[in-house]
Homo-oligomer: A and B are copies of this chain.
Amino acid sequence: MKADRRERLEARARILKALGHASRLMILEELAGGEKCVAELTRAVGADMSTVSKHLALLKAVGLVEDRRQGSQVFYRLLAPCVMGFFDCVESVMASQVQRQIRLVK
C-alpha cells in the first residue's frame, strides 16, 4: 500500500525531527553521559527551565528518552544510545560541505 509507506516515513520523520534542534542535541549529549535531572539539563542548555521541559517532553513523546521521578526531581535518561552514532555520518556531511565550499572559492 502507498499510504502505508507514507505512514512509516512519517513515523521516522517524527523521530528525526526531534533530533533537529541544537538544544535537544545538547540534552541528548548530556544524557549520553548518564541520567540527569531537569535542573542540570537546564544549566547545560542555558535556556528557561520551561523551555527545556518542553524539549524533554518532545524527546519523550517520540521515545528517545524516559523519565523517572525521584523525590522532587525528575531524572531523564537516553533510551536510544544508537542515535549518538549518527553524528559521525553527520560530521562527514559537514566536512564534505566544507570541501565543496573550498572548491567553489578556488
Contacts and interface: CB of A to CB of B under 8 A. Distances in A.
Interface stretch (A33-41, A68-76, A91-99): A91-99
Give the residue among A13, A18, A62 with the most B Cβ atoms within 10 A.
A13
Interface string A64-106: 1000000000000001101101111111111011001000000
A89 B82 contact: yes
Given A13-B21, A63-B96, 19 more contacts: A6-B26, A9-B26, A10-B22, A12-B91, A13-B20, A13-B25, A15-B90, A16-B20, A16-B25, A17-B17, A19-B20, A62-B97, A79-B93, A80-B89, A80-B93, A82-B88, A82-B89, A83-B93, A86-B89
